[in-house]
């Protein structure tokens, strides 16, 4: 028998409304008792009696056994989640930053209080990757997990490469469609996919990594010459997070824009779609594809978590408990394209080798091998205006 759920929902934005639309289409043995919102003056499509601005109305209500947290503010989301889990309520959250930043502590709180925190909607929208990593790939040796984890930057790149739209116009559309974060730097700067990568690394490899330790460079410095370079060489540019086992004890994690060939499976992942590419020892290559942003796709993942709680589902974090744990490493050589404005910048970066060098007044680049540690060390220099770095795969 499934348990009857009484929900208290924090947030009625894009995902909250998407979730509500889906819930009302079915009889799922659950009811929504209250929404907590920030702005009481905003016009809502539901009766005013369903809304409050007071978090305690949900958190102190013993009848509410399930808290759904769908707000932007990661600090407020953390407080809500911790209070709810400690008071015996299960929580569903789609806040990738909050989960990636506090995961180790949140796992402990769940174990101490016998409560469950689920967050499928936080990673790649509608794609059920967390539960698959947790359950299905439990015994499988994972060589790597990579893909397209951010719908907004992928939407922008698709519009630039397929429709020759400008970066600014495409970004504005991604915002209007509700894909982008409130601060879109999180999307185009590669922070949002980095948080998702940290969560993926936890379920794939049993790692708790502070996202601040993971390198992310985004598409925010992409220029016309880089697009021209990609078109001439028959590449596409995609923003790709990677978790990869470099040997039996070490895993590297980073987010970089990448030049990929058009026969690469990720090349056909366009607009707000996401794709997750899993390479495993025995299953070999597998690919998950689906919408990564938007109210209904993300709402569908959130609903799947809610309904899993009717049967008391919880992540077991088994890979964290295994004795043969892997460690996070940054010692990894990659091949990059680096466009730079000032020759002095180039002199300050230690490349392992340079295979190609182009020098014109308005367009200078190198194709070179470089260690990830050097990119991390020189991140600010590399990320200055006038420069753009992308991996070539
Ligand atoms: N801003 C995110 C994206 C929303 O564009 O992918 C979904 O996490």
Of all protein residues, the one whose alpha carbon is nearest to atom 8 of ligand 1 is 293
Q: Is the CB of 292 under 6 A from ligand 1?
A: yes
Judged against a pLDDT cut of 90, whether residue 115 lies above it is answered with yes
Of all protein residues, the one whose alpha carbon is nearest to atom 4 of ligand 1 is 293
Average pLDDT over residues 90-107: 98
Per cent of the chain over pLDDT 90 is: 93
What pLDDT shows up at residue 1? 74
Judged against a pLDDT cut of 90, whether residue 367 lies above it is answered with yes
Higher pLDDT, 138 or 235: 235
Active-site residue identified among 97, 194, 196, 238: 196
Q: Catalytic: 196?
A: yes
pLDDT (tens digit per residue) in 323-357 = 568 999 999 999 999 999 999 999 999 999 999 99
What is the atom index within ligand 1 of the atom nearest the CA of 122? 8
**CATH topology match: 5-129+295-320 vs 132-291+326-392:** no
What pLDDT shows up at residue 138? 78
Q: Is the CB of 179 under 6 A from ligand 1?
A: yes
What pLDDT shows up at residue 139? 74
What pLDDT shows up at residue 321? 78
Question: 123 CA distance to ligand 1 centroid (A)?
Answer: 9
Mutate to test the pocket of ligand 1, among 19, 149, 192 (most ligand atoms within 8 A of CB): 192
When mean pLDDT is compared across 40-49, 62-71, 308-317, the lowest value belongs to 40-49
Average pLDDT over residues 271-295: 96
Judged against a pLDDT cut of 80, whether residue 179 lies above it is answered with yes
Question: 298 CA distance to ligand 1 centroid (A)?
Answer: 9
**Burial annotation 203-228 (CB, 10 A radius, 16+ → b, else e):** bbbbbbbebeebbbbbbbbbbebbbe
Can you state the angle between helices 295-309 and 14-23, rounded to 10 degrees?
Answer: 60
The residue extents of the domains of the chain are 5-129+295-320, 132-291+326-392
pLDDT (tens digit per residue) in 221-230 = 999 999 999 9
When mean pLDDT is compared across 11-20, 118-127, 138-147, 274-283, the lowest value belongs to 138-147
Enter the CATH code of domain 132-291+326-392. 3.30.360.10
Average pLDDT over residues 281-304: 95
What pLDDT shows up at residue 323? 59
Domain 5-129+295-320 superfamily per CATH: NAD(P)-binding Rossmann-like Domain (3.40.50.720)
Mutate to test the pocket of ligand 1, among 150, 171, 238, 295 (most ligand atoms within 8 A of CB): 150
What is the atom index within ligand 1 of the atom nearest the CA of 174? 5
Question: 190 CA distance to ligand 1 centroid (A)?
Answer: 11
User: In the structure, what pLDDT confidence band is assigned to residue 199 with cuts at 50, 70 and 90?
Assistant: very high
Q: Is the CB of 117 under 6 A from ligand 1?
A: no
Question: 95 CA distance to ligand 1 centroid (A)?
Answer: 10
Per cent of the chain over pLDDT 70 is: 99
Higher pLDDT, 196 or 323: 196
Average pLDDT over residues 71-90: 97
């Amino acid at each position: 028998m499934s348990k009857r759920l009484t929900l208290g929902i924090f947030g009625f934005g894009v995902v909250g409304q998407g979730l509500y639309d889906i819930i009302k289409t079915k009889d799922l043995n659950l009811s929504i008792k209250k929404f907590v919102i920030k702005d009481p003056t905003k016009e809502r499509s539901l009766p005013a009696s369903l809304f409050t601005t007071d978090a305690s109305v949900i958190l102190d209500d013993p009848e509410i056994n399930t808290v759904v947290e769908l707000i932007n503010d990661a600090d407020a989301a953390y407080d809500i989640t911790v209070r709810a889990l400690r008071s015996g309520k299960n929580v569903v959250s789609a806040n990738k930053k909050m989960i990636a930043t506090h995961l180790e502590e949140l796992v402990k709180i769940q174990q101490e209080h016998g409560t469950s925190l689920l967050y499928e909607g936080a990673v790649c929208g509608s794609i059920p990757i967390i539960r698959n990593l947790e359950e299905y790939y439990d015994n499988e040796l994972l060589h790597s997990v990579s893909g397209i984890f951010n719908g907004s930057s992928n939407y922008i790149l698709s519009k630039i490469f397929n429709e020759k739209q400008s970066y600014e116009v495409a970004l504005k559309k991604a915002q209007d469609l509700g894909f982008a974060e409130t601060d879109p730097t999180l999307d185009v700067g590669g922070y949002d996919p980095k948080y998702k990568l940290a969560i993926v690394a936890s379920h794939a490899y049993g790692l708790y990594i502070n996202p601040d330790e993971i390198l992310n460079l985004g598409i925010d410095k992409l220029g016309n010459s880089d697009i021209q370079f990609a078109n001439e060489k028959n590449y596409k540019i995609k923003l790709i997070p990677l978790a990869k086992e470099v040997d039996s004890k070490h895993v590297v994690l980073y987010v970089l824009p990448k030049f990929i060939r058009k026969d690469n499976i990720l090349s056909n992942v366009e607009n707000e779609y996401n794709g997750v590419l899993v390479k495993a020892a025995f299953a070999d290559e597998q690919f998950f594809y689906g919408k990564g942003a938007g109210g209904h796709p993300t709402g569908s993942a959130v609903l799947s978590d809610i309904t899993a709680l009717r049967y008391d589902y919880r992540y077991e974090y088994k890979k964290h408990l295994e004795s043969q744990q892997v460690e996070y490493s940054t010692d990894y050589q990659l091949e990059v394209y680096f466009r730079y404005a000032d020759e002095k910048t180039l002199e300050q970066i230690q490349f392992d080798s340079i295979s190609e060098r182009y020098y014109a007044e308005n367009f200078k680049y190198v194709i070179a091998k470089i260690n990830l540690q050097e990119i991390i060390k020189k991140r600010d220099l590399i990320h200055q205006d006038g420069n753009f770095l992308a991996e070539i795969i």
